[in-house]
Chain A
Amino acid sequence: MKAAWITTALLALHSLSAARDWTQPTLAERAAEAAGRSPWESAFWIGLGLAGTLAAMTLLGLSLVYAERKIAARFQCRLGPTRVGWRGTLQTLADTFKLISKADLVPRDADRLLFFTAPWLVVSGMLLALVNIPASPLLFVVDLNIGLLFISAVGALSVLGILLGGWASNNKWSLLGSMRAGAQIISYELSLTLSLLVIVLFTGSLSLGEIVQSQQEGWWLWRGHLPAMVAFLVFVIASTAELNRTPFDLAEGESELTAGFHTEYSGLRFALFYLAEFLNMFIAAGLAATLFLGGWMPLHIAGLQTFNRVMDFIPPLVWFGLKTGGLIFVFMWLRWTFPRLRIDQLLKLEWRFLLPLSMVNLLVAALVLLLGVYGKGGPA
């Protein structure tokens, strides 16, 4: 038990240090390894994993909402929150307390069971995906061998939550919003899956740990040539749609549907929907960073030894944070730049353009793999 504490402290130090050991066991593996020796140590690792996910969820939720508000404000030549805490950093926390003290309303004639289940489905889909995201060799809770498949499977839970929540509210806005969300999310899920498959094709593995390991010599974005680049673009567009973010935010459409599927949700239940929305953005960005941008792997350019050395000194967690943060910024940028599409335009974009494109792209990727031309050229 004492050893476990010391290891944790060392791990925390190590994650900040520049030591480059890519083959650390995940927390789940540590727990499994310790199970024979001492059940307490095993329980400790499991507890650390759960507490870590919970802490990550809270911190990311608070900071992403703050970031969104600040960035939105900058795009619109405003200041954003400035009063609560240093430069408004505690604004989200204050808002959370406000939401806690709000009346918890359930509309008349609502389907109460479904109304209560909906936030749970959304939150559980988010948490189960979050636990799989590899943030650094040491901040990696579970590495399922079917990780990618698992994430897309639990990702579907949130569609269910949105559909049920909208229908159960017995509100016309909610119903319209959830129907739109359902049609939109399931449609874009197809091209999302097909663009993930490009990377599965190159690595021959669904485990996120192995996918990151496979990018030691170079990120798939470069090494995968054209198919990987197309897949990356499709992934970013499709996940914007999956997240119900502008230009695809028809599900909420605040100027026409009040708040879409969560119009009737108030207080903490609304907060849970909101939290899940922001964390799903983190998950999508983290997944894109893991699959296409090398996860925690540093940027290397073949032939520039000194440059590569310097890059190696940046800790993996920082690399992951930079890549994910950059992608999150792109999502926010898109949101505050583009106007909203109409539902028929949205579905046309997917079914007539993105879906055929990503299918053909997958075949081109298979051809690239077969000819063995991947893995050469570009920044390695």
Chain B
Amino acid sequence: MNYLIVFLELLLSMALVVGALAFSRLLAPRPAVQTESRPYECGAELVGNARVRFHAGYYLVALLFLVFDVEAAFLYPWAMAQAQVGLVGLIEIVVFISILLLALVYAWKKRVLEWL
């Protein structure tokens, strides 16, 4: 029943968006002039397309994120069970986290975090 409501909520959000679109199609004026459909870049003449290359730093951040996000996913079950696994679990997780912190230090020393 829980997930039924969650699923209905998902449908509701879709209905909301589609409804909003339909609503504005009914009520809003249509743009008539061709220039209105150009991307808005402060009114200046457009220079090329927006599908351009961007800073490689974003890619590095995404890679780093991937590592630590998977780590966070592993930490969820551990956090749930820590009360049962006791000291052994804690030691294991310390080892696990320190390896990842080591990876962070490595990335730091490699100047990944300096936004080259």
Contacts and interface: CB of A to CB of B under 8 A. Distances in A.
B76 A206 contact: yes
Contact of A355 (B9, B49, B68): B68
Interface in B70-116: 72, 75-76, 79-83, 86-87, 90, 93-94, 97, 100-101, 104, 108, 113-115
Given A54-B12, A201-B79, A351-B113, A186 B2 contact: no
A370 B87 contact: yes
Contact of A197 (B12, B13, B79): B79
B30 A103 contact: yes
Interface residues of A, number: 83
A183 B2 CA distance: 33
Nearest to B75: A197
A369 B69 CA distance: 24
Contact of B17 (A32, A123, A128, A190): A123
Contacts of A271: 20
B23 A124 contact: no
Contacts of B49: 109, 170
Interface residues of B, number: 66
Nearest to B116: A344
B69 A127 contact: no
Interface centre among B39, B104, B108 (most CB of A within 10 A): B39
A363 B40 contact: no
Interface in A129-187: 131, 141-144, 149-150, 169-176, 179, 182-183, 186-187
Contacts, number: 212
Interface in B1-23: 1-6, 8-10, 12-14, 16-17, 20-21, 23
Contacts of A73: none
B23 A100 contact: yes
Interface stretch (A233-241, A245-253, A260-268, A316-324): A260-268
A247 B92 CA distance: 37
Contacts of B90: 363, 366-367, 370
Contacts of B16: 123, 127, 272
B115 A343 contact: yes
Given A366-B93, A370-B86, A123 B13 contact: yes
B80 A363 contact: no
A284 interface: no
A50 B8 contact: yes
Contact of B113 (A53, A131, A352): A352
Contact of A359 (B6, B97, B114): B97
Nearest to B51: A170
Contact of B5 (A103, A141, A356, A369): A141
Interface string A194-212: 1001001100111000000
B38 A107 contact: yes
Interface string A317-356: 0000000000000000000000000011001100110011
Given A143-B2, A170-B39, A171-B41, A46 B8 contact: yes
A175 B24 CA distance: 26
Given A108-B38, A267-B24, A268-B23, A190 B8 contact: no
Interface of B: 1-6, 8-10, 12-14, 16-17, 20-21, 23-25, 27-31, 36-42, 49-52, 54-55, 57-58, 61-62, 64-65, 68-69, 72, 75-76, 79-83, 86-87, 90, 93-94, 97, 100-101, 104, 108, 113-115
Given A150-B6, A347-B61, A366-B90, 15 more contacts: A28-B2, A46-B8, A102-B28, A103-B29, A116-B21, A120-B13, A123-B16, A123-B17, A127-B9, A171-B41, A179-B58, A183-B57, A189-B65, A258-B40, A271-B20
